[in-house]
Amino acid sequence: MTTDQTSPATGVKPLRADARRNRARLLEVAEAVFTERGTGASTEEIAREAKVGIATVFRHFPTKEALLEAVLVRRLERLAEEGRRLMAETGPTYALFAFFDLVLDQSPVKNAFAAALADAGVDVRAATSEAGRALGEVLTVLLDGAQQAGVVRRDLGVPELTAILVGTCRMLEHLDGHPESAKRARAVVRDGLKARTGSPEEPLPQGGAPS
Amino acid sequence: MTTDQTSPATGVKPLRADARRNRARLLEVAEAVFTERGTGASTEEIAREAKVGIATVFRHFPTKEALLEAVLVRRLERLAEEGRRLMAETGPTYALFAFFDLVLDQSPVKNAFAAALADAGVDVRAATSEAGRALGEVLTVLLDGAQQAGVVRRDLGVPELTAILVGTCRMLEHLDGHPESAKRARAVVRDGLKARTGSPEEPLPQGGAPS
DNA sequence: GACGATACGGATAGATGACTCCGTTTGTCC
DNA sequence: GGACAAACGGAGTCATCTATCCGTATCGTC
């Protein structure tokens, strides 16, 4: 809805029909392949799976990195979309947690890929910033709502929230195939996010051992 | 202490003096390089940095995967060691948290590498199992102590704990350079780990949105 | 210090992956 | 339905990485 995924950008180019089809299919297939085999998957494999020649891949995405980027942006856009939907449908008290659950319920590999992008050393940050900012705005709304409703501690901002979400994804990867453990581990994070009801500063150890 | 790191295993081979030196240096350098540049770093680079020929690397570690494995095992052994030390010096109430802090205080890259190994597709699991089991035992003791002391919720086991630790590492990577945010995010996890003082089942949403 | 064995270094083989060139096909517009 | 531009396919190039071979240097022992 936000940006037409089949056209490269707010258009300087009309792009032919088959080209549009191929581009869309490539994005689809690339996401699947990258999530399954990791970012190390070869462009040739993606081309084969998408039933196009290698040249076609590079025609649409001048470099492998660009393809990676495009896939990531697409995913971020979808997430922002879902966040907005949840906010509207679910209301401020539950929307943030619903969003967390939605992300975490996706297969671990699906989330793994997002993280895998980071260590690809890709300059994703720059190109992602636009989509990332949109998602950031959605998260801001979700977080604000939850904090206003008193269900999330107030010392958290969007950066912390994002990091916690990513970390939790990685956490669940390690518990794949053990749903009971995963449920308990998720409860830990969820409880940690909740507004502290007891004393604001508890006497638990912060530093390391007394040296 | 547990296993002499300079000898390949409980010894069938006496191994010459220079060979022992080189092997140790290789492990040292490999850990540094892998943590900095990721597991994609070339063996040639490691050889150069360690001031040995490439052949020497492959003589000691028949395959790159074997080198990766050895580095990981070494790290796990050291962690187990530190865990034992903390248990003895710090006591059951604080030892687990101290261990968490110790791991998390290491530079993010240092922790990143452990996770990076996983997606290298390496059959690390098998070869790691021995060192992993040792660390697992230490964690069992730490967790038991903390639970007995009433500072950690009782529905957690070692698998959950391990996953949470790994996930928190990844979380902190994303907050590198923002110590204040990192502190707050860590507090979320720590509070989540604590024994629940209030009602055992809080009325917070579990599932997604009401569809 | 000399000899045998062990370990070393660097050049090289073999594999793989990103990216390009160019002849052929396909969509679009009249 | 014909002409022209746009897009396609896949063989080929270039770089890089893992792993090996073999002549040389070093260690350990007498």
Report the alpha-carbon distance of residue A173 to residue A107 in Å, rounded.
Answer: 9
Model confidence at B113, pLDDT cuts 50, 70, 90, reads low
Q: Which CATH architecture has domain A65-193?
A: Orthogonal Bundle (1.10)
pLDDT at B170: 85
pLDDT at A210: 41
**Is any atom of strand C within 7 angstroms of residue B59's beta carbon?**
yes
Q: Which residues of A2-24 are buried (b: 16+ CB within 10 A; e: fewer)?
A: eeebeebeeeeeeeeeebeebbe
Tokens 């290698």 identify what position?
A: A54
> Among A179-193, B43-57, B189-203, which is the least confidently predicted range?
B189-203
pLDDT value at B129 more than 80: no
pLDDT at A178: 92
pLDDT value at B52 more than 90: yes
> Among A19-23, A144-148, B71-75, which is the least confidently predicted range?
B71-75
In 3D, which of B41, B127, B140 has the Cα closest to residue B76?
B127
Mutation to test the A interface, candidates B105, B174, B211, most A Cβ within 10 Å: B174
> Among A31-40, A104-113, A172-181, A185-194, which is the least confidently predicted range?
A104-113
pLDDT at B7: 38
Span B133-143, average pLDDT: 92
**Is any atom of strand C within 7 angstroms of residue A54's beta carbon?**
yes
Report the alpha-carbon distance of residue A105 to residue A121 in Å, rounded.
Answer: 27
Span B30-39, average pLDDT: 90
- Token duo for residue A59: 């025609």
Of B36 and B88, the one with more pLDDT: B88
pLDDT at B124: 54
The domain limits of chain B are 17-62, 64-193
For the ranges A21-35, A121-135, B160-174, the one whose mean pLDDT is highest: A21-35
**Residues in Cβ contact with B8 at an 8 Å cutoff, skipping those fewer than 6 apart:** B15, B23
Q: Cα-flanking dihedrals φ and ψ of residue A99, to 5°?
A: -65, -45
Mean of pLDDT over chain A = 83
pLDDT value at A132 more than 70: yes
Span B7-28, average pLDDT: 81
- Token duo for residue B88: 């003895």
Report the alpha-carbon distance of residue A166 to residue B185 in Å, rounded.
Answer: 12
Mutation to test the A interface, candidates B191, B193, B194, B197, most A Cβ within 10 Å: B191
**Phi-psi category of residue B44: left, alpha or beta, with phi > 0 → left and psi -120 to 50 → alpha:** alpha
**Residues in Cβ contact with B192 at an 8 Å cutoff, skipping those fewer than 6 apart:** A187, A188, A189, A190, A191, A192, A193
Nearest to B205 among A98, A112, A178 (CB): A98
Question: What does the angle CA B91 – CA A168 – CA A181 come to, to the nearest 5 degrees?
Answer: 70
Q: Which of residues 129-158 of B touch strand C (CB under 7 A)?
A: none
**Are the C-beta atoms of residues A33 and A58 closer than 8 Å to each other?**
no
pLDDT at B200: 47
Report the alpha-carbon distance of residue B181 to residue A34 in Å, rounded.
Answer: 30
Chain D positions with a protein C-beta closer than 7 Å: 6-12, 16-22, 26-28
**Is any atom of strand D within 7 angstroms of residue A16's beta carbon?**
yes
- Token duo for residue A149: 């409703």
Span A161-169, average pLDDT: 90
**Are the C-beta atoms of residues A102 and A161 closer than 8 Å to each other?**
no
Structure letter (DSSP) for residue A174: T
pLDDT at B114: 59
Interface of B with A in 36-55 (CB under 8 A): 38
pLDDT at A124: 54
Report the alpha-carbon distance of residue A81 to residue B169 in Å, rounded.
Answer: 29
**Phi-psi category of residue B49: left, alpha or beta, with phi > 0 → left and psi -120 to 50 → alpha:** alpha
Question: What does the angle CA B145 – CA A160 – CA A198 come to, to the nearest 5 degrees?
Answer: 50
Report the alpha-carbon distance of residue B142 to residue A69 in Å, rounded.
Answer: 42
Span A98-125, average pLDDT: 67
**CATH code at B64-193:** 1.10.357.10
pLDDT at A149: 96
Burial class (CB in 10 A: 0-12, 13-18, 19+), B206: exposed
- Token duo for residue B92: 């059951």
Instruction: Say if B162 is an interface residue toward chain A (CB within 8 Å).
Output: yes
- Top-level class of domain A17-62: mainly alpha
**Are the C-beta atoms of residues B197 and A198 closer than 8 Å to each other?**
yes
pLDDT above 90 as % of chain B: 56
Span A137-147, average pLDDT: 95
Report the alpha-carbon distance of residue A77 to residue A27 in Å, rounded.
Answer: 13
> Among A112-126, B22-36, B179-193, which is the least confidently predicted range?
A112-126
| Cα separation values, B100 from A2, A40, A63, A134, B107, Å | 42, 32, 41, 34, 13
Q: Helix B158-173 to helix B124-148 angle, to the nearest 10 degrees? A: 100
Span A98-117, average pLDDT: 74
Model confidence at B173, pLDDT cuts 50, 70, 90, reads confident
| Torsion from C-alpha of A150, A153, A159, A161, nearest 10 degrees | -80
Report the alpha-carbon distance of residue B1 to residue B50 in Å, rounded.
Answer: 25
pLDDT at A130: 82
In 3D, which of A155, A164, A160, A151 has the Cα closest to residue A92?
A151
pLDDT above 90 as % of chain A: 56
Per residue in A24-78, pLDDT (tens digit) is: 999 999 999 998 888 889 999 999 999 999 999 999 999 999 999 999 889 888 9
Report the alpha-carbon distance of residue B209 to residue B211 in Å, rounded.
Answer: 6
CA of A73 to C1' of D9 (A): 28
pLDDT at A142: 96
Q: Which of residues 14-53 of B touch strand D (CB under 7 A)?
A: 16-18, 42-44
Instruction: With beta carbons under 8 A apart, name residues in chain B contacting A100.
Output: none
Which chain B residue lies closest to A165 (C-alpha atoms)? B171
**Is any atom of strand C within 7 angstroms of residue A43's beta carbon?**
yes
